[in-house]
Each structure stands twice: as C-alpha cells, then as structure tokens.
Amino acid sequence: MIQLSVIVPVRNEAEHIARVLDRLLAQRYEPDKLEIIVVDGMSEDATPQTVQEYVQKHPNIVRYFENPKRLAGPARNIGVQNAQGEAVLIVDGHCIIDNDDMLASVSEAFTKTGADCLGRPQPLEMKDATPLQWAIATARRSRLGHHPDSLIYSDQAQFAPASSVGVAYRKSVFEKVGYFDENFDACEDVEMNTRVDMAGLTHYFEPAIAVRYVPRKTVQGLQLQMQRYGRGRIRLWRKHRHTLSWKSFAPGVFVFGIYCLLLFLILSFVVNVFGAGWLPGTLMIAKSSLAFFGLYFMILLAESVRLVFKQRRPDIVLLLPVVFTLIHINYGWGVLREFFFPKRFERSASEPLSSDCG
C-alpha cells in the first residue's frame, strides 16, 4: 500500500463529519500508511470540537487545520501542503462511504495503472430520500441533468480526461501544475483537472473508489448549487478559453433568450397600448416561442416518463419536469450572472464545501 493522505475540507459539517471519519478509520488500510487531514473553514457549529475528539483518539492518523478563507480551494491547498503521503485523496465532509476497501482501491489503482491521478463516480444516495430528493437524484443522473461529458455516473474503469472527476493525485502533480486556484468558489476541482489534462498527465477513472452524496433536500438548495456551477463554468472559460463548449453555455443562452423574449413582448404590448400598434414580427415571434417551449417541455416530459418507468417511481412524474427546469434555469442564471457581472460571490453558510460538480 502507498503512503496516502486523505484530505477532508469541511465547513459546518457537524451533522455528517463523525460518520465520515468513522468510515475512513474503519477502512482496511495499514494505519502507519494513512493520515486523515481535516481542514475546517471556520465552522460555526460543533464541527471543530467533533474533529478534535478524533484527533485526541487517533493522534497518529487524524490531523486538524483551520482554513481562514473558508472556501474549498484554500482548504484543499492547506491539506496538500501539509500532506505527508505519496498521494492525496479528496473526500468531502458529508459524503457516504459504503466500501471498506475504498482506500485500498485507491492505492491499488495508482500502483496498477501508474496514473498521475484518479477519478471516481459520485452517485447520489437514494436511501430514505423524499420524493423531491428522488426527483433531483433521478434528474441529475440523466444526460439532461448534468454535463454530458462528465463521468460522475459512469461505472466503467478507463483511462480518460481528468475533467470534472479527478479526486486523487500523486504529490508530484502539484509540483508540475500548481495548486487549486483559490479564485474559484465553485468548480475549483474542474479547473485543477483542466490543468492536469493540459499538462499531458494521465488520469484513470476507477469505479471502486466511488463515494455517494445526499441530494439537496430543498428547492433552494438545488437552485444555489446549480447557480454556483454556472458561475464556475464561466470562470473556467475565462481562464482556459479552450473549454468553450455549447454544452456548458446552452443553459445560459436559453435563459438569455427567455429574458430577451419577455422584454420584447412587454415592449410590444406597451407600444400597442399607446396606439402605435404591435411591433413588427410580434405575432411570428410569439408563435415561434410557443412552438419552441412546447417542444422543450415535451422533451422534458418524455424523459421524465422514461425515468419514472425505469425507477418505478410514479410519484415523481410531475416533479421531474419541474426539477429539470430548475436545473437548466438556475445553471443558466449562474452563467449569465458571472458573464455580465463577474465578481467574487461568498458561499452561503448553508452550502457545504462540496466537489460534486458535474
């Protein structure tokens, strides 16, 4: 087994952190070759106290550092800079680890493939989920609900671009490409993995190191998540222009088109009220828009029905089109917001330091 450092960036994870640390400590891995580095973003709950209890119980394995900048990028960098292992693995403070050999699989994959970094699937946990969570998880697994090029729901081991799934790195990777960009408060992992690909380093996608995530519990949580992803993609494009892709920008164009359409129709209505008649093309634009949105919702409905039959969950058939629409509109709003008004947005205190960016 290789000397492995597991980095756990956290902020306000008192509800989950003990479970994550218990699962990491229960791994079938040689204790003298493992360290767990928890980096806390100035939590306002009991997270620091909980972690310190583990530090006292397992002083040779668990280490604790503070992250004054609070965001995930700085947390990862603090972990990497203090890591003593040959390789580092990023594990979020609210994920679900249901495989006692997950860390052993990380070591085996590095040794077997010789890859510079590893990626993993990030499926959503469905146990005890509410209908809304079922709908969110089901939609996110669909190609209409996450970036089509992402491997986060794949189960095929393969060499592939690191893109958005790289989570484990040999320490030598950071010497070659640098650390996580701390100007990103979303998609910092995608930006890092983009530099890994640009440097020609090798990446192996290993399903055996998968972890699970709990779907967002509320509509607001889903909205915030998707807006962050949209903003992150624009920042990625600004730094690495070759990442321009219609798949990333399509939701932004979609939302921009809605705003333009509404503005035109309101303007035409106002002009007509004042007696100047409807603006030229109003009827044609209105009919074309109705046809477009009719087709859009038919596609969403067809995919929703397909997924309902596949999941055998008829109770989410009406929720799925709504969830798909929320994903597209909020991701698109994040794209537009960052494109036209770029600035640093502070993470909501309710948002975890998650890397589930797909």
DSSP assignments along 266-331, one per residue: HHHHHHHHTTS-PPTTHHHHHHHHHHHHHHHHHHHHHHHHHHHHHHT-GGGTTHHHHHHHHHHHHH
Number of H helices, E strands in the chain: 11, 8
Name residues whose C-beta falls within 8 Å of residue 57's C-beta, 6 or more positions apart in sequence.
Answer: none
Q: Which of 97, 66, 69 is nearest to 79 (CA)?
A: 66
pLDDT given at position 126? 75
Name residues whose C-beta falls within 8 Å of residue 309's C-beta, 6 or more positions apart in sequence.
Answer: none
Per-residue model confidence as pLDDT tens digits over 9-30: 999 999 999 999 999 999 999 9
Does residue 74 contact residue 182 with C-beta atoms inside 8 Å?
yes
**Separation CA 317–CA 326 (nearest Å):** 15
pLDDT given at position 353? 55
Residue with tokens 């989410």: 316
For 349, phi then psi, to 5°, come to: -60, -25
**Separation CA 209–CA 123 (nearest Å):** 11
How sure is the predictor about 72, in pLDDT bands with cuts at 50, 70 and 90?
Answer: very high
Assigned token pair, 196: 């890994």
**Separation CA 173–CA 80 (nearest Å):** 11
Overall average pLDDT of the 76-93 stretch: 96
Number of residues that make up the chain? 358
How sure is the predictor about 344, in pLDDT bands with cuts at 50, 70 and 90?
Answer: low
- Indicate the angle between helix axes 282-311 and 319-340, nearest 10 degrees: 120
How sure is the predictor about 352, in pLDDT bands with cuts at 50, 70 and 90?
Answer: low
Q: How far apart are the first and last CA of the chain?
A: 30
Instruction: Kindly tell me if the per-residue pLDDT of 247 is higher than 90.
Output: no
CA angle 101, 119, 200 (to 5 degrees): 135
pTM of the entire predicted model: 0.87
126 or 2, which is more confident: 2
Per-residue model confidence as pLDDT tens digits over 91-148: 999 899 999 999 999 999 999 999 999 999 988 877 788 999 999 999 998 989 987 7
**Separation CA 185–CA 72 (nearest Å):** 7
The β-bridge relationship of strands 34-40 and 62-66 is parallel
- 181, with CB counted inside 10 A (0-12, 13-18, 19+), is middle
Does residue 51 contact residue 38 with C-beta atoms inside 8 Å?
yes
Does residue 49 contact residue 28 with C-beta atoms inside 8 Å?
no
DSSP code, position 212: B
Assigned token pair, 329: 């509109």
Does domain 4-127+151-215 match CATH 3.90.550.10? yes
Overall average pLDDT of the 260-278 stretch: 91
pLDDT given at position 349? 45
Return the amino acid letter for 284: M
Sign of CA dihedral 196, 242, 121, 37: positive
**Separation CA 90–CA 105 (nearest Å):** 14
Residue with tokens 């992402």: 150
pLDDT given at position 276? 85
**Separation CA 358–CA 353 (nearest Å):** 15
3-state secondary structure of 161: coil
Q: How many angstroms from the chain centroid is the CA of residue 134?
A: 18
Of 65-69, 84-88, 127-131, 138-142, minimum mean pLDDT range: 127-131
Instruction: Kindly tell me if the per-residue pLDDT of 347 is higher than 80.
Output: no
